[in-house]
């Protein structure tokens, strides 16, 4: 049962990547960062989730743990494909259900290879 979702249109990371060990000690963790809606109240410091960048902007970190290195690599591939798909769509044609289908299709393709 899902506990949340991530709108890939808000992701500001160039790519979804393996989280650095100094950020998360859990192996097989995935990192992506998204923009924070204007007006959202976030902690000034000490947060692992909300981080102030050098330019003053605040991003939200998403850390997703996979069970195995293979699962992590599958999810990295699927999420990066879906992110590329979302970014290639013009804003006026963006439909969140398209991104969901892209993730599902990429995941199914990888599993059944």
Does 3 map to a domain? no
78-95 average pLDDT score: 78
Overall average pLDDT of the 46-74 stretch: 90
- Two tokens at 63? 């850390």
Question: Is 1 part of a structural domain of the chain?
Answer: no
Residue-averaged pLDDT of the chain: 81
Q: Residue 84: pLDDT band by 50, 70, 90 thresholds?
A: very high
Q: What is the pLDDT of residue 38?
A: 77
Inside any domain, residue 2 = no
Is 43 a domain residue?
A: yes
> Would you say 30 and 11 are in contact if contact means Cβ atoms under 8 Å apart?
no
What pLDDT was estimated at residue 40?
79
Query: Does residue 49 form part of some domain?
Result: yes
Q: What is the CATH number of the domain that holds 86?
A: 2.30.29.30
Domain limits at 88?
A: 8-111
- Buried (b) or exposed (e) across 39-73, using 16+ Cβ within 10 A? eeeeeeeeeeebbeeeeeeebbbbebebeeeeebe
Global pTM? Answer: 0.73
Q: Which two tokens stand for residue 76?
A: 């990295």
């Amino acid at each position: 049962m899902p506990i949340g979702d991530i709108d890939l249109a808000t992701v500001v990371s160039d790519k979804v990547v393996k989280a650095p060990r100094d950020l998360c000690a859990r192996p097989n963790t995935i990192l992506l960062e998204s923009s924070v809606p204007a007006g959202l109240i976030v902690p000034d410091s000490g947060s692992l989730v909300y981080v102030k960048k050098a330019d003053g902007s605040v991003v939200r970190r998403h850390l997703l743990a996979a069970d195995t290195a293979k699962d992590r690599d599958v999810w990295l591939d699927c999420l990066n494909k879906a992110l590329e798909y979302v970014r290639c769509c013009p804003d006026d044609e963006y439909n969140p259900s398209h991104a969901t289908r892209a993730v599902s299709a990429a995941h199914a393709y990888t599993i059944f290879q």
